Amino acid sequence: MRLEEEMYTFGLGENFHLQDYLGLHQDESREGAFVFRVWAPHAEQVQLIGDFTGWFQNPIDMVRNHIGVWEVSSDLPREGQIYKYLVKRKGGQVVEKMDPFASYLEARPGTGAIVRLKRERKWKDGPWMGRRKRFGFQKRPVNIYEVHASSWKLREDGTPYTFRELKEELIPYLEKMHYTHVEFLPLMAHPLGMSWGYQLMGYFALEHTYGSPEDFQDFVEACHQHNIGVLVDWVPGHFTQNDDALAYFDGTPTFEYQDHHRAHNYRWGALNFDLGKNQVQSFLLSSALFWLEEYHIDGLRVDAVSNMLYLDYDEGPWTPNQEGGNRNIEGYNFLRRLNGVVKFYHPDVMMIAEESTAATPITRPFEEGGLGFDFKWDMGWMNDILRFYEEDPIYRQYDFNLVTFSFMYVFNEHFVLPFSHDEVVHGKKSMMHKMWGDRYNQFAGLRNLYAYQICHPGKKLLFMGSEFGQFLEWKYDYQLEWGNLDDRMNRQMQYFTSRLNAFYKEHKALWQIDDSYDGLEVIDADNRAESVLSFIRKGDKGDFLVCVFNMTPVERKNFTIGVPVAGLYQEVINTELEEFGGVWKEHNPDTMTQEGSWKDYTNTLSFTLPALGASVWRVKRRVKQPKTHRE
């Protein structure tokens, strides 16, 4: 009865734990035997081959059931042996195929699955999971360190660290740098490292390069024990077109669209999932839940959402939908369903969309036509702000809107502000190298930029190496330029990032109200001539921070702004302190406000604003003002 139900829900697209039916399992009716199941509805024949059959010498015939699933039970396999499926496609072509539901694959370039039963685990991260359920993440600090697991650090022989080694070195580094979360580029099995993991083949398998599933479970558990969340990139839109993986599995479009142009992703040399097919939905929804449940992941960043939403996003020919528009209706409905299913089972995990348009509400609820994601990468903010900081300060007054425009739409969605891997490759230069000026000014600009990111509403993300100002672009097959830290300026940059991250966690005004103008008050966004921006971030208990950014290398003495509260103010961040790599030996002195009209304010604060620097202030002691006659 259970198998009948599994098959029925699979066909309806309602099986959300499909790996419990398809793939390799212990045969409960035969001691020492394993049962293998694979979906290949139009195949003419499927055989099981592996170490236990002498591969092609004695293949084991599989039997097809009424929904196109081929099955066989055998007591020949032993744990640790490798197997594949020999599929005679419709039309007669015979190909070797991987098991799409394998949880462990052999090392590249092989694609064979390893006979391996699931290990039951007694997790020791209960306190973290309880806090996650209780407090969520919307009104919590989220500051993400984005990592490519196989190039963060390499062994002496040039091979990547596994998660066993990353547990010992990366977690202490995350603690030292005060990040709240770590996010990994895709960890699922992929045939080519050059793809960074975005051309997937094993949607249930940890990439062999990174060690065993237990290694990754240990890593996640240790992160949680150190109060660090773990996020993973996931790619449900497209997959590798390698012939031994999912591509045209049974000789017909099985996982991909029937239409040739919709099936082929010309830009990325991949194949697009048929997101309207029930069985494909079961496959992908099961994969998402598998990573969340098997590894206690705290969230998924869904890659390339635009490619799933718009028929004309790719470079190839396209056909309008039945309404004459460019929306991929199947993709739109799948993404809504994805978030609905994930949130039904795990309402406390983070669902993040990488999406580059504004045509579809991404983080709005379903009833408002949204997709139900928790966060969206703010690609517009990222592009605008990097273009501004790369510009010569002489011209910044003419492009000041690049800095201020985001305040017009800042709460239209729930945003993550990303400085991601995509911004430090393919000739775009590293974050430090993007900055204007000589080496001193580049570091000053980078400190200013990171302070602006931290103070701006929205959650934060920074790609590895950017935290210490690595000069060279990221290279996927080399480790970070850790040798840069032999240089004093890089060490000071790393120290600054660490202190800034700690400051972010310590001040609720920077993350408590990230979703409305209740948490933001712009003081002055019109000072183009001096290229100075000032605004206030507010917490929900009346606490606030005054954030001032000087975008030019000109120190401004006796700089004055209006502030909402009279009292003694203390400077709590100055990006130009010597300890950070600047020239200031100490902070601005504590400063008392003065009565005076300044825009809509009746109090002013005057201080020295550092050249190309950021200055953040808090109220140290409030002063009650006497009521005026007008009041």
Sheet holding 591-592, edge to edge: 520-527, 532-538, 544-550, 614-622, 567-574, 591-592
- The end-to-end CA distance of the chain, in Å, is 77
Residue 495: strand, helix, or coil: helix
Residue 488: strand, helix, or coil: helix
What is the number of other CB atoms lying within 10 angstroms of the CB of residue 582? 21
Torsions phi, psi of 341, nearest 5? Answer: -70, -50
Torsions phi, psi of 462, nearest 5? Answer: -135, 135
Which letter does DSSP use for residue 345 in this model?
H
Evaluate whether 563 touches 570 at the Cβ level (below 8 Å).
no
Q: Which tokens hold the place of 296?
A: 């206690």
DSSP 3-state percent helix, strand, coil across the chain (nearest 5)? 30, 25, 45
Distance CA 493, CA 177 (A): 11
Q: Which tokens hold the place of 347?
A: 């309402």
Q: Tell me: cis bond preceding 77? Omega within 30 of 0 counts.
A: no
In the block, tokens 């919590």 appear at 140
Distance CA 486, CA 471 (A): 13
Residue 503: strand, helix, or coil: helix
Catalytic residues, by residue number, are: 303, 354
The answer for residues whose C-beta is within 8 angstroms of residue 247's C-beta and 6 or more apart is 239, 240, 241, 255, 256, 271
Residue 606: strand, helix, or coil: strand
What is the number of other CB atoms lying within 10 angstroms of the CB of residue 477? 11
